[in-house]
Structure formats: structure tokens, C-alpha cells
Structure 1
């Protein structure tokens, strides 16, 4: 089973976690580059604030979360061949920046 919800509505997310005894969240919520570059403030809210909401729920309720990254996290300076796991990431879109943000938060959180 799965549930679609507004990732910006923390209280609703919290109710869903509690009422459905959720222990895993698969977090795909994001505005991709084409839309995000047209409305950067909204992309920041959805892509970054939404991630923070999910991570806060995970912390409070001991949830496991899956937040996929993307090739969008790389930029023109990233090596195109034999790309190492750790390399320069300087994306040129808010979507890419938000994915790098998510990756780095995942390393510390």
C-alpha cells in the first residue's frame, strides 16, 4: 500500500505515520528542473523543506526512509567517464542542488 500526500503538510504526514503505523517512507517528492526553474521558491519548499519534514518524522518515529538521488546532482565539472562515488558535484539547477543537499544530509543524519 502507498499514500499520496502533501510533503509540506507536516501535521498531516505525522497523522499518517501514527494512524497507519508507518515504518518506511519512500520519498520521491520533488519539482524537477523544467518546473523548478520556473518557480524556484516553490522548488526549494517542495524539494528541501519537504525532505526536512520527512527526515524529522524519521527521527521522531524511528522510521526508515529511502530518498533516491539522480544524475541531476552532477554538474558540468563532474567526470563523464568512470565517475567515482565521491566526486565534484556542482549542479546548475535547483533540482540538482536539492539532490546534493539530500545526499549530504543522508551522510550526517
Structure 2
């Protein structure tokens, strides 16, 4: 985590106010472990948003709710597959519908 702190300091030395945005990328299949990871990361550097990947093949998408509730950090993007078009802006309404109707998020196939 010290390396992350140093990266922030170095960026700020080159561009005032940097980093302007810090996104934490979490593997959606890790379940509640993702919340623990996010807490540790957030102690090292300020996190402005979360990207949750691998939501196409798991029923553990509920971690998105836990992260938002416990950390107050918005989920900005979700990964629902392996293709370039499978990284999508997070839409809470679509996510909730998919979570309760199907148990997971489906990529367009």
C-alpha cells in the first residue's frame, strides 16, 4: 500500500491536484472479500469510484450493494464479459433488475 501512496505523491508532483480520479477494480467473484480489499485500498489512497468485473458468470453481484453501502464509493463501471464492449457504465436500476430477476448480469451474446 505504501507504493500506492507514493504513486499518488509522484503524480501530484507532476500535475497539481493529481490523481484526479482513482478507480479501484475488483473481481466480482470474490464476494465479500472485495469489500475488505476496497477498505484497505481506500486507507492508502482516496478512491473516487469502483469497477466490478466478472459479473457475467456469478451470482455474487450483491457485493456491489455492500461496497456502496459500507464505503460510500459509487460503482462507476461493471464488466460483464471478456470483450471490449463488455465494460459498461453502471446503471443501478438495470443492475437491480438483473440481480433480482436472473441472479447475475448477462452480457449481450
Q: Same fold (TM over 0.5)?
A: no
Higher relative contact order, structure no. (Cα contacts within 8 Å, ≥ 6 residues apart): 1
Relative to the length of structure 1, the TM-score reads 0.39
